[in-house]
Amino acid sequence: MPSHMHDDHINGFPYLVEKYKTKIWCYENMVDILQNPRGYNLGCTYGEPIKVDLAFRDGEKFKWEEFEFTVCHSPGHTEFQMALFSVIDGARVAFTGDNFFPSLLPSRIWPHDFPAYQLRHNLCFRNWVESDSHFKSVRTIIENEPTVIAPAHGKPFLSNKEDLEDLKHRLEKQKHYFTSVIADPDCDFGLNPSWVRLYPYQVLVKAGSAASLELRVRNYRSKPMLLEATLNVPAGWEVTPGKLTIETSPKTDNAGAFILTVPEDWDPSRSRVAVAADIVADGQYLGEIAEGVVDVQFRG
């Protein structure tokens, strides 16, 4: 079970499957990323498909040997991450992936002879981060009251509610910083570079053939948003519709599709081509903020 979708946590999975027939389990929102990694423009995606045998929903429980685990969505380091909670040898243990780590406080902050630690979090916006991602995760950990936290890197460490509440308070301040710096009142439009995106990010199409390229939109507004998009492609390629219109519902994911046709006589020396969606949202021109890659395949 990967704590999250990054390649440094799943690189060995194909070997385990091939050598030991290992079954792959994961949180539900990782399934398509593992099985169709060409679909996404996210940091540290493993490049080859990995078949998932079982997926878990938020709050779902399972047993492994004598232990019972609870699966919880735990965004922050990436949207595609979970935490596992269990009681092991009498200790309440939280397996938290790359979300939280203990950090030694510098002497200018803690001027004592004995060391003091403070929980820190891990923030990479290309991983898909929203303004309350880490806040959701630390709130879930506080609710489960672990006595030990086992991160995905480094040693397990003792956990207490005071340290977690301190981190929660700092994450509340972080959200205030986001809203102060980002001009849009719905600051997640500025935090998440994938709020509008092409899927699959890397599409395969044969010369002389057509492929569907989906435009996916997450509307962070509390009201509907009208999105208009045109797909900019090389001369000679065909795209329908010429303008894609998506009436997005509030606080939801929405989608529409382009049909892309590559001419039969396309230059084989240009087998990989970048395309981009030009976006207008509620009449405001935003530019080519959603891009993709087309890999053209040739006969023979």
Give tens-digit pLDDT for 198-256.
Answer: 999 999 999 999 999 999 999 999 999 999 999 999 999 999 999 999 999 999 999 99
Q: Write out pLDDT tens, residues 165-199.
A: 999 999 999 999 999 999 999 999 999 999 999 99
Within a 10 A sphere around the Cβ of 248, how many other Cβ atoms? 23
Pairing of strands 202-206, 284-297: parallel
The CA distance from 275 to 260, in Å, is 10
Whole-number pLDDT of residue 118:
80
Identify the structural domains of the chain with CATH numbers, from first to last.
Answer: 7-188 (3.60.15.10), 195-297 (2.60.40.10)
Residues 74, 140 contacting (CB under 8 angstroms): yes
Within 8 A by CB and 6+ apart from 116, the residues are 104, 105, 110
pLDDT tier at 104, thresholds 50, 70, 90: low
Q: Residue 284 pairs with which residues in a beta bridge?
A: 281
Q: Which three-class secondary structure state does DSSP give residue 165?
A: helix
The CA distance from 82 to 269, in Å, is 43
Helix (H) or strand (E) holding 276: strand 272-281
Within 8 A by CB and 6+ apart from 67, the residues are 86, 87, 88
Residue 36 in this model has a pLDDT that exceeds 70: yes
Query: Helix 133-144 vs helix 161-181: angle between axes, to the nearest 10 degrees?
Result: 170
Helix (H) or strand (E) holding 42: none
pLDDT tier at 39, thresholds 50, 70, 90: very high
Sheet holding 210-218, edge to edge: 196-199, 210-218, 253-261, 238-240
Whole-number pLDDT of residue 122:
81
